[in-house]
Amino acid sequence: MEITNLPAALSRALETRGYAALTPVQAEVTAEAAHGRDLLVSAQTGSGKTVAFGLAIAEQLLAQGETLPPPGAPLALVIAPTRELALQVAKELAWLYADARIATCVGGMDASRERRTLNQGVHIVVGTPGRLRDHAERGALNLSQIRAAVLDEADEMLDMGFRDDLEALLDQTPNERRTLLLSATLPRTIVALAKKYQRDALRISTVSEQRGHGDITYRAITVSPSDIEHAVINLLRFYEAETAILFCATRDNVRHLHAGLVERGFAAVALSGEHSQNERNHALQALRDRRARVCVATDVAARGIDLPTLSLVIHVEIPRDAEVLQHRSGRTGRAGKKGTAVLIVPYPRRRRVEGMLRGARIAAEWGEVPSVEAIRAKDRERLLERLLAPVEVDDDDRALAAELLAQRTPEEIAAALVAAQRASLPAPEEMIERAPAEQKGHRPGFDDVVWFRMNIGRRQNADARWILPLLCRRGHVTKAEIGAIRIGQGETQFQVPRALAQRFAAAVRATANADGEDESGVRIEPLDGAPAPTRAPVQQRRPYTAQRTPRPRR
């Protein structure tokens, strides 16, 4: 292996690890121009950043470029946003610096044990901002000898509100220290932090200008808001990824989706802020040893997760911006492997997602949710491949096979084997059909309408002000897609453009129970033909105008 500008001990460690060459970011931070300088590094997740800064700080750790001094007050400080990422960083540095004593200080672990390790002397400290600051304020962490400080995923730490902790830690380190800031992106907050704590920093960027991540295929699918969970199920069944991660915005949504997947037969685990460190460790171990294949997580909970078999990322809820999109998607497509990232986009939010993708320079393929027929075709291909693959059999297997053949025909045995394989697969879901393509994104006029009726009227205090939101929720339409509302004594009739009527009726059926009613007992059904003339007033839908305060009566 021909790697220059590195101490011999590190070159041997890389060779033992199987490195044939440095990644672009590793080559940049070890180049002659970067020696001794503060670094502001922008590189994608999975590009080898941890090893990169490990190599970069070698001149601050190794005496005469070869050996480590005796352990004492730490020489290098590495700060990461989450426990998982901190532990992963410590694990990477451990093989790179085989003789180094490395301490981890993270929330959720035994603080007294961490203090004992620090008191015994270390070379490198890796931890999360809150726990590191706690040790420093209690006098257990001595930062007076720090020669190199590294902030990994710095933008995420600022987003999580750790700015005060970071500044408190950096203020306790010597002014002549070397400071490295690493992140997938470099927003203004990071640039401001760099100006405050770095001197003449060398800016390094290995982010592709063409797309967010070269080894990830991006897909975007449009769905009805009520079909999001069904879309997740069909995507999981279509791809059958060895490991998949699903991103939700809140812990409540993680809990709900995880329960739904487990109920349908998926081997799934959940990661969110409500889970203890022990529960998180068990979940990650289940994914690593293949007892689970699906992880439902929030953005913060998934930080630092490194699963070599992860090939599918599903954005169940749209990320808030392009940076979060890239952070999430970067969990896959690592170390030269291919990955797929799918965004589930409710119809009304397509334009926003298109803008986000343009801003991230990501060319996503737009399409529909995999259909039941497409999933069954994939199942057929996979079953044939699995059942026709060569296997090793012993004498017991041959004896059992002979007994089966004596009692059943080969066709019956093959059919039973296929049925047994299919029985373990969760059933795909039927999706609500959209309007024809030429009508997407267009509101037709109300010259051609279909009338529907509800089993409530003036006797039940029916009023358009609360009927309208109910119709939008049940039928997955906007207020502008409901026409005239006619409230009668015992029922209410209303208009829906004919182009949307079929989709509206399907959505209503999907949100009803076996009796055709919702939880309040409201039934919505098509009305045969136009309504009969009635003296009941018709409440027309008018454009919204600001309401005036009524003049008080004298």
Identify the CATH number of the domain in which residue 486 sits. Answer: 3.30.70.2280
In percent, the amount of the chain with pLDDT more than 70 equals 88
Asked whether 133 and 301 are in contact (CB, 8 A), the reply is no
Instruction: Tell me the pLDDT tens digit for each residue of 78-120.
Output: 999 888 888 889 999 999 998 899 999 998 788 999 999 999 9
β-sheet with 243-247: strand ranges across: 268-271, 294-297, 243-247, 310-315, 339-346, 216-223, 365-367
What average pLDDT does the chain have? 83
**Could you say which of 353, 373, 393 is where a domain stops?**
373
Phi and psi based region of residue 440 (left: phi greater than 0; alpha: psi -120 to 50; beta: remaining): beta
Structural domain includes residue 414: no
Q: Lowest mean pLDDT of 43-52, 278-287, 342-351, name the range.
A: 43-52
Within 10 Å of residue 546's Cβ, how many Cβ atoms?
4
pLDDT band at 167 (very low <50, low <70, confident <90, very high): very high
pLDDT of 144: 94
Are 137 and 246 within one domain? no
pLDDT of 212: 47
Are 156 and 248 within one domain? no
List C-alpha distances in Å: 381 to 114, 241, 390, 421.
52, 15, 16, 13
Structural domain includes residue 191: yes
Helices (H), 240-313: 251-263, 277-288
DSSP 8-state code for residue 184: S
Show the domain range for 232: 216-373
pLDDT of 118: 95
Are 150 and 267 within one domain? no
pLDDT band at 239 (very low <50, low <70, confident <90, very high): very high
Task: Tell whether the model's pLDDT for residue 122 goes beyond 70.
Answer: yes
Are 132 and 260 within one domain? no
Longest dimension (CA), the chain: 102
Within 10 Å of residue 494's Cβ, how many Cβ atoms?
26
Are 325 and 226 within one domain? yes
Are 47 and 88 within one domain? yes
CA–CA distance, 64 with 83 (Å, rounded to integer)? 33
Task: Tell whether the model's pLDDT for residue 3 goes beyond 70.
Answer: no
For residue 84, give both structure tokens.
């998982």
pLDDT band at 546 (very low <50, low <70, confident <90, very high): very low
In percent, the amount of the chain with pLDDT more than 90 equals 35
Structural domain includes residue 298: yes
Helix or strand (DSSP H, E) at 218: strand 216-223
Task: Tell whether the model's pLDDT for residue 142 goes beyond 60.
Answer: yes
For residue 266, give both structure tokens.
């998926």
Are 29 and 135 within one domain? yes
Residues 503-530 have a mean pLDDT of: 85
Beta strand pairing call for 124-127 and 243-247: unpaired
Are 169 and 243 within one domain? no
**Could you say which of 350, 373, 396 is where a domain stops?**
373
pLDDT of 440: 39
Are 107 and 153 within one domain? yes
Query: Residue 3 burial by CB count (10 A; 0-12/13-18/19+): exposed, middle or buried?
Result: middle
Buried/exposed code over 189-218 (b: 16+ C-beta within 10 A; e: otherwise): ebeebbeebbeebbebebbeeebbbeebeb
**Could you say which of 174, 205, 236 is where a domain stops?**
205
431, 424, 369: which is closest to 239 by C-alpha? 369
Structural domain includes residue 472: yes
Task: Tell whether the model's pLDDT for residue 240 goes beyond 70.
Answer: yes
CATH code: domain of residue 353: 3.40.50.300
pLDDT band at 542 (very low <50, low <70, confident <90, very high): very low
Task: Tell whether the model's pLDDT for residue 160 goes beyond 70.
Answer: yes
Secondary structure (3-state) at 109: coil
Structural domain includes residue 257: yes
- Only one residue has tokens 């037969």, namely 265
Task: Tell whether the model's pLDDT for residue 499 goes beyond 70.
Answer: yes
Three-state SS across 300-347?
Answer: CCCCCCCCCCEEEEEECCCCCCHHHHHHHHCCCCCCCCCEEEEEEEEH
Asked whether 202 and 37 are in contact (CB, 8 A), the reply is yes
Are 142 and 49 within one domain? yes
The partner residues of 216 in beta bridges, in order of sequence, read 339
Asked whether 297 and 245 are in contact (CB, 8 A), the reply is yes
Task: Tell whether the model's pLDDT for residue 209 goes beyond 60.
Answer: no
Are 322 and 277 within one domain? yes
Task: Tell whether the model's pLDDT for residue 257 goes beyond 70.
Answer: yes
pLDDT band at 296 (very low <50, low <70, confident <90, very high): very high
453, 515, 521, 519: which is closest to 488 by C-alpha? 453
Residues 402-418 have a mean pLDDT of: 89
217: which residues sit within 8 A by CB, 6+ positions away?
338, 339, 340, 341, 365
Number of domains in the chain: 3
Structural domain includes residue 408: no
Structural domain includes residue 250: yes
Crossing angle for the helix pair 83-96 and 49-56, to the nearest 10 degrees: 50
Structural domain includes residue 405: no
Are 151 and 183 within one domain? yes
CA–CA distance, 136 with 370 (Å, rounded to integer)? 53
List C-alpha distances in Å: 279 to 23, 65, 272, 284, 552.
34, 42, 10, 9, 61
Query: Residue 371 burial by CB count (10 A; 0-12/13-18/19+): exposed, middle or buried?
Result: middle
Its pTM stands at: 0.56
Residues 25-41 have a mean pLDDT of: 90
For residue 265, give both structure tokens.
């037969």
- Decide which of 461 and 338 is more confident: 338
The partner residues of 294 in beta bridges, in order of sequence, read 244, 268
Asked whether 207 and 46 are in contact (CB, 8 A), the reply is no
135, 204, 128, 141: which is closest to 173 by C-alpha? 141
pLDDT of 65: 61
